[in-house]
Structure 1
């Protein structure tokens, strides 16, 4: 795992400021504390911070081809590099290292832009080809590794592993993008390709950007997508057997390392499956790391211990205080953009623990999306049956009207809380799913934002992110559609972002076997009935794991990696919440309706409603503003939202 940075003059061959390039590279020292280097030639500057994992002695970057005409800076792992080396050698390429990085430069020479289709792994890289006068950026299929870039008015391309790299450049347009604010308060993150700043973008998963000096800048190209064909009609037994083989292969590939390796073990199905598979592949005990909570309502450590005992792992556990809220400002610094998943706190702590014992950790991330594990999937499928019972021409006006007039009754027994159901019934599948995952729903965001900021949005709604992906999904299967939406949005913007930044803060590499693209592709061929069966999520995965894991792990209710926000905001953080929500930092932005902020605080702290997720989302936005020195003037020209 590493940090990459670079500058490219798309129009000419200006020399770049060495001090600037050094600042861009050094700001991400945490991503690669082992080594760092810079490379300059007219119109090109490359930087790299290295966390040494494979080929410790000769894998330094920037790395070049035989004659020095192709240079690459790379973050990630190419797991199938050992298979590609002999193929490239047969084409006449000479290797001088044992690193997966060198495969990239030779694959580019052999296959050009199509090289990424040959890579199996997690990666983000920038590559310069002097002979072709071409600069090439690429990101892995599922967006495990991040890649930020910006094209400045003077023709400079800048890129980096984190947004803070780009922020070192004085020419970056750091005005806040109002559409990014709308997406953040809907989803808890700014969705690809947008960033919080108007001048910066994220390269989306499975995209490349190929720029030839002196030619018009093209749009990024997509080189892969997952297609839910659902046409692989294996028996349950056959599917279980093949799944176990594919899982073994994926885990085996991710156990290649020249440094200490272990795994996260939460006690949930996904991480337990990874640990059980690792134990079957390793002659030595697996090192496992778990976080326990001193609040029993959030503590899964006993289930992690069951798995650790069964496989006799070297198991490390640390207990996190239930009042571990001192990380708010730390998280704002780590994520660079507003980021509202509070499970970033325990994720940060488990990465901190793991780094004491290993340099590489395997995780179970990605399992819920591909196997059908989220509770919200079952709820959505039930709602879809109801939506399917009435034609849209009847359903939309009827339930739309009922949703508007029926009183909101969060305090009432569930049977009387029909308003949300009516609202969901009035929407189509994509809109309804967006509504169900939104942190602040449409009506709440309308109340949250000031009139001047709503004018800035000009009608933009974050549901457009889901609509765009929904149109590309190529499936009308109810479960497959929302799995696709999550793979394109939540998995990338929330899960992968959370793990990458938390791990890199501690110079830890995390590998995700359940996000292997070949495994994801195969799972997308299986019928949805093998993923959610009645009220059982991850049906096939659990069946396949029955010989490996106890039922207490497989079939207990899902807990998730949560923290007690509701209690914090009524207890130890009560005064801090009020000061943040009603303080000067938010007031000066012109974005918010102060009366509604006050309502959120009062209603939550009185116990009338649980607004903890909404309060946390606003607090993390405020922390982002403070950490980045952002000041957004409160006026109709909030317009210019200058940071």
Structure 2
């Protein structure tokens, strides 16, 4: 719902005047104006400057930010929603605090005054914020438990700490975006996004989910510290029926809490179980409160993955007013190069294209939309979870030495049959089983495998990487958990969810002026769901078993029986037709002038794709996204030579 920026000059690095540049702070805030089209505000005093852009959701008249306490000795800029703010406000009033607004932001200010850092444990919602306490001379930066809202920061060469809601907010700060991070670039090529806490720039970091930084004027070193972690699984035996009853109660409460708004509220709707269940529950609460029917929104790309008919049937079942739109895929190359403008760094998830389209459609009717994000991660819905569990069972049947000796050579010799029937494409499965569990799962989520990725690099880039291994984070996370399903889920909650899914949702919705709320990612619900035994999630080769049973009474049979589909774009055919233009783009100066990429290797990949020898569609899309970012970065670097652009 908003965006913020800030500059902090610790005493140890502060210029004699200690003045923050208003022009720079305004420039940073203007860069994220799309996050808050309704209002803007600034607070500047010696050593600290805060900027804000507001998308008004609660207390439309009095929620102006930066917001302060009675004497403005504590100031905050806040992005998100606190669902339990009314209960916290009552508790703080009993302690003697006086509230000037009905806005959820104010409870953080007074909560800090009474509870200090413990206020973070009391907040139920999603958020990122910066809180300045003049009396203590401290700056608190914090991010919600699952990473729904972003927070970037970096220390400029002059010692100034800059922070903001998007990378775009930090690009005007001199010295922060001069150098790219080669390790982050390789991570992007491996995963299709840059995992926390890195960014594509060496001097800019992301505050990880469930972390805070408390920075004082005399100790300016940013040091992220964790304030929340998932509890261990509950050892208490739970039957499916008991768990289903609990899930229904928890999910209903999570939906109800997310319907507080002083503006129109609707729902994103696909043809699947998760978004259908959220709409059904929200429609019930809307009817019970006397509100009119909810609006639901769906977009479709003509073709086999078009979900408009299934979504319309679900909306009719719930009594929602359904809004749908057909969207042409458009120019694939232009869409890829546009990603850098939206995300600020390379971001390869092509489903961001329909996500942006449905957010724009929703903005025609509402300011807040509920979504079904999180069901797959929490309740084991991804197909890769099933395959990883099966592969782990196979590993247990063969000793490590036998697997490496027998399966690894077979996998290496097995042909890569991209266009063959699925039952003939065994190379990936054989390779995964030949590896240990952690490296096997890494290969499952990897977009460009190690040999393919390194084959595109010049010796110069390889030397800059200095042995960097994108698998290290996944291996470390998986090695701490014995159960293969929970291990894979923990990895995704730590990497894929905050690095890909939630980034996609936040940037596309904020670009459109819509706040998205995800009931299935209620932290208490996530903690409970992650603690369930695996047999309640995976049954008879089907994921999300418990969620299916819990929401079955809410959904038509056709929705429950419909196979999981997801968005699949016709990238391969489009890029095959666009091969000549593809060569001109990927073999142009943006990629090759870096000295990091082997033009001949990229050319061979394009040739193989154009001829149909291999399907490199998704790999070429990721390279196009990277090329678009590098072109934008090179243009910005040239612009930095002109002082007017950083004034």
TM range (shorter): over 0.9
In structure 2, the gaps of 5 or more residues are 639-647
SS in 2 for 1:554: helix
Q: Would you say the 8 A contact 2:419–2:615 is kept in 1?
A: no
Q: Deviations over 1:337-374 (max 9, x none)?
A: 00000111100100010000000001111111001111
Between the aligned partners of 1:330 and 1:585, the Cα distance in structure 2 is: 15
Between the aligned partners of 1:218 and 1:622, the Cα distance in structure 2 is: 32
Q: Would you say the 8 A contact 1:228–1:480 is kept in 2?
A: no
Cα offset, 1:173, TM superposition: 4.3
**Structure 1 residue aligned with 2:483:** 477
Between the aligned partners of 2:236 and 2:451, the Cα distance in structure 1 is: 42
CA change 1:307–1:416 in 2 (3 A) is closer
Correspondence 1:614 to 2:622: no
Between the aligned partners of 1:331 and 1:458, the Cα distance in structure 2 is: 28
SS in 1 for 2:634: coil
Between the aligned partners of 2:490 and 2:636, the Cα distance in structure 1 is: 37
Correspondence 1:35 to 2:42: no
Deviates more, 1:623-632 or 1:7-16: 623-632
Between the aligned partners of 1:339 and 1:597, the Cα distance in structure 2 is: 19
Cα offset, 1:277, TM superposition: 0.7
SS in 1 for 2:469: coil
Q: Would you say the 8 A contact 2:75–2:133 is kept in 1?
A: yes
**Structure 2 residue aligned with 1:306:** 313
Between the aligned partners of 2:338 and 2:457, the Cα distance in structure 1 is: 26
Between the aligned partners of 1:384 and 1:630, the Cα distance in structure 2 is: 48
> Which aligned pairs between 1:93-104 and structure 2 lie closer than 5 A?
93-104=97-108
Cα offset, 1:323, TM superposition: 3.5
Correspondence 1:5 to 2:16: no
Q: Would you say the 8 A contact 1:228–1:475 is kept in 2?
A: no
Q: Would you say the 8 A contact 1:323–1:568 is kept in 2?
A: no
Between the aligned partners of 1:522 and 1:31, the Cα distance in structure 2 is: 32
Q: Pick from 280, 287, 297: which aligns with 2:295?
A: 287
In structure 1, the gaps of 5 or more residues are 634-643
SS in 2 for 1:4: strand
Cα offset, 1:174, TM superposition: 2.6
Correspondence 1:374 to 2:379: no
> Which aligned pairs between 1:521-532 and structure 2 lie closer than 5 A?
521-532=527-538
TM-score scaled by structure 2? 0.94
**Structure 2 residue aligned with 1:463:** 471
Cα offset, 1:397, TM superposition: 4.3
**Structure 1 residue aligned with 2:237:** 233
CA-atom RMSD in angstroms:
1.7
**Structure 1 residue aligned with 2:519:** 513
Cα offset, 1:232, TM superposition: 4.3
Cα offset, 1:426, TM superposition: 2.6
**Structure 2 residue aligned with 1:357:** 365
Q: Would you say the 8 A contact 1:3–1:31 is kept in 2?
A: yes
Correspondence 1:212 to 2:229: no
> Which aligned pairs between 1:127-166 and structure 2 lie closer than 5 A?
127-166=131-170
**Structure 2 residue aligned with 1:641:** none
Q: Pick from 570, 588, 594: which aligns with 1:589?
A: 594
**Structure 1 residue aligned with 2:278:** 274
**Structure 1 residue aligned with 2:173:** 169
Cα offset, 1:136, TM superposition: 0.5
Correspondence 1:426 to 2:434: yes
SS in 2 for 1:125: strand
Cα offset, 1:404, TM superposition: 3.5
Q: Pick from 106, 111, 121: which aligns with 2:110?
A: 106
Q: Deviations over 1:456-508 (max 9, x none)?
A: 1122121012124335xx53111000001011111111111111110111111
Q: Would you say the 8 A contact 1:2–1:51 is kept in 2?
A: yes
**Structure 1 residue aligned with 2:71:** 67
Q: Would you say the 8 A contact 1:233–1:526 is kept in 2?
A: no
Between the aligned partners of 1:171 and 1:416, the Cα distance in structure 2 is: 52
Q: Would you say the 8 A contact 2:156–2:174 is kept in 1?
A: no
Between the aligned partners of 2:397 and 2:432, the Cα distance in structure 1 is: 14
Cα offset, 1:113, TM superposition: 1.5
Deviates more, 1:145-154 or 1:422-431: 422-431
Between the aligned partners of 2:236 and 2:328, the Cα distance in structure 1 is: 47
Deviates more, 1:422-431 or 1:368-377: 422-431
Cα offset, 1:451, TM superposition: 1.8
**Structure 1 residue aligned with 2:345:** 337
CA change 1:475–1:553 in 2 (3 A) is same
Correspondence 1:116 to 2:120: yes
Between the aligned partners of 2:49 and 2:220, the Cα distance in structure 1 is: 21
Between the aligned partners of 2:301 and 2:426, the Cα distance in structure 1 is: 35
Cα offset, 1:578, TM superposition: 2.1
Between the aligned partners of 1:631 and 1:69, the Cα distance in structure 2 is: 38
TM-score scaled by structure 1? 0.95
CA change 1:3–1:411 in 2 (3 A) is closer
Q: Would you say the 8 A contact 2:411–2:431 is kept in 1?
A: yes
Cα offset, 1:554, TM superposition: 1.5
Q: Pick from 246, 251, 256: which aligns with 1:252?
A: 256
**Structure 2 residue aligned with 1:638:** none
Cα offset, 1:327, TM superposition: 3.3
Deviates more, 1:165-174 or 1:362-371: 165-174
**Structure 2 residue aligned with 1:403:** 411
Between the aligned partners of 2:307 and 2:509, the Cα distance in structure 1 is: 21
Q: Deviations over 1:409-461 (max 9, x none)?
A: 44555555443233212322221111011110111112111122111112212
Q: Would you say the 8 A contact 2:156–2:173 is kept in 1?
A: no
SS in 2 for 1:229: coil
Cα offset, 1:324, TM superposition: 5.6
**Structure 2 residue aligned with 1:553:** 559
SS in 1 for 2:553: coil
> Which aligned pairs between 1:191-210 and structure 2 lie closer than 5 A?
191-210=195-214
The aligned length equals: 629
CA change 1:294–1:451 in 2 (3 A) is same
**Structure 2 residue aligned with 1:640:** none
SS in 2 for 1:102: helix
